[in-house]
Structure 1
Amino acid sequence: MFLVEPPPSPGDLHFQMGEIPVRIHPFFWLVALIMGMQGDAAPAAVLSWMVAVVVSIIVHEMGHAIFQQHFGGRPRIVLYGLGGLAICEDCDRSTRSQILISLAGPCAGFLFAVAIMLIIRTLGHGIGMFIGDGAKLTSGNILDPKGFSVFGLTLFWEEFSSPQVNRMLLDLLWINLLWGAVNLLPIYPLDGGRVAREVCQLGSAQQGIVLSLRISMVAAIMMILVGFSWQSWFTAIFFGYLAYSNYQTLTAYRASLW
């Protein structure tokens, strides 16, 4: 589901981002719709969510693809299921290149979130941030704040008069920050898991793969527990799938060594 490019379908949407072809599989829209209907199921809220998801994941995958181009590849992007793939068969496979390519996706999302906050400030609305229980950083007046918290980081801004604008900003910032943070976890095939695998293989390729899969399973199981503590069945099921997938991969890999 996460590693294999889905076959072409009559419902695919095709377009170009510069020299990089993008394909959106119909299943991507279905999953985004289902996720958008979990909370506020008003049509405007669902539409805002779906737009924010497709924009954010394209930004994330473009981060990968731009670095793949930089390292000599001809990438393509496919959005499907719960996310997307930046696929490149001919880019540099060195450890350094692969680590930078993996980190480029989350970093692109973080930079996009920063750009959104700067645009809010440029439009004359104050912005602010809490980091845990520490210092409060603000710029401009914030009389009627709108915002959210994710992983100890709280962002807020002076609310716009349009509820649709506030909804879109909230969705874009939340997705880019949360998706980027989740992708940095050392769980394969997330970006952090790919980085962990490259680092673990610096000594021995075989032992490194086994070690990275063990780390991945432990981290995924911890996130299952986090999902239960959040009372989020989606989180528990998602990381449960990744834990089981890594267990299957480890079992098959060990069998192949004999």
Structure 2
Amino acid sequence: MRFKFLKISVSIDLSYWIFLLLVISRIDSHYIEILLWSSVFTLSILVHEYGHALAALFFDAAPNIVLQAFGGTTCFNAAHLTCKQKFLITLAGPLFQGLLTLTAYLLLEFNIFNSYLLKYLLCITMYLNSRWLLLNLIPIAPLDGGWLLRYILENFFGYKGYLASIIIGLVAAAIAIPLLYLKGYHWFFIMQLFIAGWHYCKLWQQVRKW
């Protein structure tokens, strides 16, 4: 599935739909509510990725978005970008998601809508995005928090900063994985952290060989 919106191409891979079915299979509810969960889940990913993509478009980096298993990815031409510009592009994703969460919270707080389904939609939006936002700011790449930390540390400390970002990422994964499990986070959030932690273990092994 492909479409274009705000001059940005979006491609949704078959693996994303399979992944979405696995995610919503745990929801024991009416089919309309399951449909709302699916819609909010997909919309939330798109809002987050559009944050990255619009920032990249502002810097003429020719972005495009791909939705696939375990979420979305924004690809862009980073060849001519400065470290500051890449930092801002990365930051834009969580900012957009934070605004979406805040908007849902305010609409609920001021009780603007009387419809049960609309309130349910807003509750799902706030629930999913608040959890996703906190997860995404954990300082381990490919989560945005990991890239933001790496940009900052490398900018100030060079290669030592890169090493520090790996160590911090490993510690963050070791703490966050059991904590999120105990807090009842969905399995796919925990799986993302596990994959990221495994990637950092590989990076650390490469660093030690050097």
**Maintained 8 Å contact 1:159/1:166:** yes
Unmatched runs of 5 consecutive residues or more in structure 2? none
Identity of aligned residues (%): 26
Q: 2:3 maps to which residue? A: 15
Superposed CA offset, 1:47-102 (max 9, x none): 11111111111110010011111122110001111111111024643221111111
Three-state SS of the structure 2 residue aligned to 1:201 is helix
Q: 1:89 maps to which residue? A: 77
Aligned mate of 2:154, from 201, 204, 226: 201
Q: Note if 1:170 corresponds to 2:158.
A: no
Unmatched runs of 5 consecutive residues or more in structure 1? 1-12, 121-126, 129-138, 140-156
Three-state SS of the structure 1 residue aligned to 2:52 is helix
Computing the radius of gyration from Cα coordinates, the structure with the larger value is 1
Q: Distance in 2 between matches of 1:18 and 1:181?
A: 27
Three-state SS of the structure 2 residue aligned to 1:77 is strand
Three-state SS of the structure 2 residue aligned to 1:202 is helix
Superposed CA offset, 1:200-256 (max 9, x none): 11244332222111111111111112123224572544322221121112213443x
| TM superposition shift of 1:183 | 1.2
Amino acid at match of 1:242: A
Q: Distance in 1 between matches of 2:169 and 2:185?
A: 20
Three-state SS of the structure 1 residue aligned to 2:199 is helix
Q: Note if 1:180 corresponds to 2:168.
A: no
Q: How many residues end up aligned between the 2 structures?
A: 209
**Maintained 8 Å contact 1:106/1:179:** no
Inter-CA distance 198–46: structure 2 relative to 1 (3 Å threshold): same
Give the structure with the higher percent strand: 1
Q: 1:112 maps to which residue? A: 100
Give the structure with the higher percent helix: 2
Q: 1:244 maps to which residue? A: 198
Superposed CA offset, 1:22-63 (max 9, x none): 001111122122111213243222211111111111110010
Three-state SS of the structure 2 residue aligned to 1:22 is strand
**Scaled by the length of structure 2, what TM-score is found?**
0.88
Alignment of 1:11-160 (within 5 A): 13-90=1-78, 92-118=80-106, 120=107, 127-128=108-109, 139=110, 157=111, 160=114
**Scaled by the length of structure 1, what TM-score is found?**
0.73
Q: Distance in 1 between matches of 2:57 and 2:166?
A: 28
Amino acid at match of 1:27: S
Three-state SS of the structure 1 residue aligned to 2:155 is coil
